[in-house]
Structure 1
Amino acid sequence: MRYVRNAWYVAGWSKDLAVDKPLAMTILGDRIVLWRTASGGLHALEDRCVHRLAPLSLGRCEGERLRCMYHGLLFDPDGKVVEIPGQELVPPKARVRAYPVVDRHSWLWVWMGDPARADAALIPDAVGLDRPDYVLGHGQLDYAAEARLINDNLLDFSHLTFVHAQSFGSGPQFASTPARITPLARGIRYERWTENSYGSASRRSAEPMDNFMTYDFLLPGILLMTGGVFPLGTAQAVAFAAPDLGTAVSGVTFTSQAVTPMTDRTARYFFSWGPHRAHGDEAQRDILMGIAARAFDEDKVMIEAQQRVIDMTPSPTVMPTAHDRGVTLFNRLVDRLVRQEETAARDAA
């Protein structure tokens, strides 16, 4: 599977990058080292020394610079070697690739494509752990599967009826009725009203209500989802459009999720979830995270098993169903942008 490179990929949680402690991450097969300096600088380089290919993630931070701790070569944040112990001349070609990196919404975002096109305005508007109006838990999972399969799972919620019957307690409506899917410039929007319902495990109500959920799924694999519980009749009153979440009677939550391809057959899945402070507290957050832990494990078991079947199937193909509209639109967008990147690379060669 091909992936867009001109996009911001989540490399890790901001809180996990301590000052002067290099952090290793692999994204799209590229080994990357990230480090934060005492001055607040944030840097990312290719994780290999030009001398004998030792990982710079085992190096030592020296101010804004990073020293390889195999033979002592010293790297500037732009990837250039500025010192070779015992050698005065530093060859001009002694450098590694530098990556644009931004700390935002509690995540470390790395731009994997053309550095000249890195635009921080393209970072999806996730909800960070420090947002005062939400009480969020967080976590991550490593998958022995390609990232595309996780993206497809998040783009088609009809699986909730079956995979998550015991965790989310999802009813038959996810499989029996389609959601409204709207194309966006860099992804898709999913919207669903469930009328006259007692809700699910995360949004249970004592009497029938109208439940609304919506998410944007954005390049390169970012899900931003919210919703809530509303008085019976709200769905029809707003003509099944998006409601004002401020009028919800309960159940307003937010989850930010990110899928990062590491190699062809491995991916890291980052997630946070919790209630709006007007609708819950730390105890409610912990309940939600317990539900999420069970549900995300259910996804992982299924997707890793799916990957094993794909790997053992000659020329594997899929048969789309009515619920694949979001999957199809997103993957077509990815294919189109990848072709544009490949054309631009050929023209520049």
Structure 2
Amino acid sequence: MNYVRNAWYVAAWSSEIEGMKPFAITILGEPIVIYRGESGRLAALEDRCVHRLAPLSLGRCEGDRLRCMYHGLLYAPEGKVVEIPGQQQIPPRAAVRSYPIVERHSWVWIWMGAAEAADETLIPPAVGLDHPDFILGHGQLDYEAEARLINDNLLDFSHLTYVHAESFGAGEEFASTQAKIEPVERGIRYQRWIENSLGSSSRKSATPMDSYMVYDFLIPGVLLMTGGVFPLGTAAECGYGTPDLSHAVSGTTFTSQAVTPLTAKTSRYFFSWGPHRDHGDEAVRDILMGIAGKAFAEDKVMIEAQQRVIDRSPGAQIMPTAHDKGVTLFNRLIEKLSREERERVGIAA
């Protein structure tokens, strides 16, 4: 499976990158060290000293620089060696790759493609933990599975009826009816109305209401979802289109989720979820996070088991169903963007 490289991947929560303490992570099979220098500046370097190939993540921060603690080579945030103990001349090739890195929405984002192509406008518009309108909890899970399988899971919500019957309390509608799915810039949009419903575990209602949910799933694998509960008849009144969320009577929440491929068969899944301040408080947030913890554990069990079946079934082919529209559109987009990246590299070469 190809992955888009000219994209911003979530590397960590901002809070994970402590001052003056290197942080190691592998993304798309590339070992990376991230550190926050004395000035607060973030840097991301290839996690490999040019001298004896020791990991720089075992190094020591000095100001805004990083010293390899094997033989003492000192690296600038741009990746160049600026000091070699006992040697005055520094070879021009004494440098490691530096990755563009940005802190936004409580996440640390890293650009895995060509540095000169890094475009901050392509960072997906997630909602950070400090957003004034929402009270959010957060967490992460590591998967023994390729990122594509987690993306596919998030692109096809028909599994909610079965995998999450006990956690989200999803009804038959997710499997028996189709959502509205359409392409958007660098992703897809999923919209669903459920009419005359008493809601699910995260949106209980004492009287029948209309429930709305919408999410964008964006390159490289970021889900941004909101919605709410509306008076009965709202779905028909707005032509089953997009409602004014400020008119929701309850249940308005936001979740930001990101899937980061670590290696070919391992991934990290970041998530936050919580209510709008008009529709909940910290206690509601904690209830939602408890539901999410159970649901995401259910996904993990299923997807890791799926990966094991795939590994022992070389050549086996999937059989798409009507619910695979979002999966198909998104994977076609990945293939298109990956192909364009390869073609650009070929032209440049």
**TM-score normalised by L of structure 2:** 0.99
Kept after mapping to 1: 8 A contact 2:38/2:62? no
User: Which amino acid in structure 1 is aligned with residue 49 of structure 2?
Assistant: C
| Residue matched to 2:107 | 107
User: Which amino acid in structure 2 is aligned with residue 37 of structure 1?
Assistant: G
Give the Å deviation of 1:185: 1.7
Aligned positions of 1:169-248 closer than 5 A = 169-248=169-248
| Residue matched to 1:334 | 334
User: Which amino acid in structure 2 is aligned with residue 13 of structure 1?
Assistant: W
For residues 156-182 of structure 1, what are the alpha-carbon distances to aligned partners after superposition, in whole Å with 9 as ceiling and x for unaligned?
A: 000000000000000000000010001
Q: How many residues align?
A: 349
The runs of 4+ residues in structure 1 deviating greater than 3 Å are none
Structure 1 unaligned blocks of 5 or more: none
Looking at structure 1, the residues matched to 264 and 192 of structure 2 have their Cα atoms a distance apart, in angstroms, of: 33
Give the Å deviation of 1:42: 1.0
For residues 239-286 of structure 1, what are the alpha-carbon distances to aligned partners after superposition, in whole Å with 9 as ceiling and x for unaligned?
A: 001111100000000000000000000000000000000000000000
For residues 38-60 of structure 1, what are the alpha-carbon distances to aligned partners after superposition, in whole Å with 9 as ceiling and x for unaligned?
A: 21211100011011111111111
User: Which amino acid in structure 1 is aligned with residue 32 of structure 2?
Assistant: I
What is the SS of the residue equivalent to 2:134? coil
Structure 2 unaligned blocks of 5 or more: none
User: Which amino acid in structure 1 is aligned with residue 326 of structure 2?
Assistant: G
Give the Å deviation of 1:133: 1.1
Residues 41-50 or 144-153, more deviating: 41-50
| Residue matched to 1:272 | 272
Q: Does 1:32 align with 2:32?
A: yes
Looking at structure 1, the residues matched to 276 and 189 of structure 2 have their Cα atoms a distance apart, in angstroms, of: 21
User: Which amino acid in structure 1 is aligned with residue 230 of structure 2?
Assistant: F
Looking at structure 2, the residues matched to 89 and 201 of structure 1 have their Cα atoms a distance apart, in angstroms, of: 65
Aligned positions of 1:39-118 closer than 5 A = 39-118=39-118
Percent same amino acid among aligned pairs? Answer: 71
Looking at structure 2, the residues matched to 314 and 295 of structure 1 have their Cα atoms a distance apart, in angstroms, of: 29
| Residue matched to 2:315 | 315
Aligned positions of 1:118-157 closer than 5 A = 118-157=118-157
| Residue matched to 1:2 | 2
Give the Å deviation of 1:232: 0.1
Superposition CA RMSD, Å: 0.6
Give the Å deviation of 1:193: 0.1
Looking at structure 2, the residues matched to 227 and 316 of structure 1 have their Cα atoms a distance apart, in angstroms, of: 38
Looking at structure 2, the residues matched to 194 and 343 of structure 1 have their Cα atoms a distance apart, in angstroms, of: 44
What is the SS of the residue equivalent to 1:18? coil
For residues 199-230 of structure 1, what are the alpha-carbon distances to aligned partners after superposition, in whole Å with 9 as ceiling and x for unaligned?
A: 10000100100000000000000000000000
User: Which amino acid in structure 2 is aligned with residue 255 of structure 1?
Assistant: T
Looking at structure 1, the residues matched to 317 and 78 of structure 2 have their Cα atoms a distance apart, in angstroms, of: 43
Give the Å deviation of 1:236: 0.2
For residues 116-156 of structure 1, what are the alpha-carbon distances to aligned partners after superposition, in whole Å with 9 as ceiling and x for unaligned?
A: 11011100000000011110000000000000000000000
Looking at structure 2, the residues matched to 17 and 56 of structure 1 have their Cα atoms a distance apart, in angstroms, of: 15
What is the SS of the residue equivalent to 2:182? strand
Looking at structure 1, the residues matched to 120 and 232 of structure 2 have their Cα atoms a distance apart, in angstroms, of: 41
Looking at structure 2, the residues matched to 343 and 304 of structure 1 have their Cα atoms a distance apart, in angstroms, of: 33
| Residue matched to 2:343 | 343
For residues 58-107 of structure 1, what are the alpha-carbon distances to aligned partners after superposition, in whole Å with 9 as ceiling and x for unaligned?
A: 11111111000011000011111111111111111111000000000000
User: Which amino acid in structure 1 is aligned with residue 66 of structure 2?
Assistant: L
Q: Does 1:165 align with 2:165?
A: yes
**TM-score normalised by L of structure 1:** 0.99
User: Which amino acid in structure 1 is aligned with residue 237 of structure 2?
Assistant: A
Give the Å deviation of 1:16: 1.0
Looking at structure 1, the residues matched to 129 and 70 of structure 2 have their Cα atoms a distance apart, in angstroms, of: 37
Aligned positions of 1:2-21 closer than 5 A = 2-21=2-21
Looking at structure 1, the residues matched to 207 and 59 of structure 2 have their Cα atoms a distance apart, in angstroms, of: 59
What is the SS of the residue equivalent to 2:329? helix
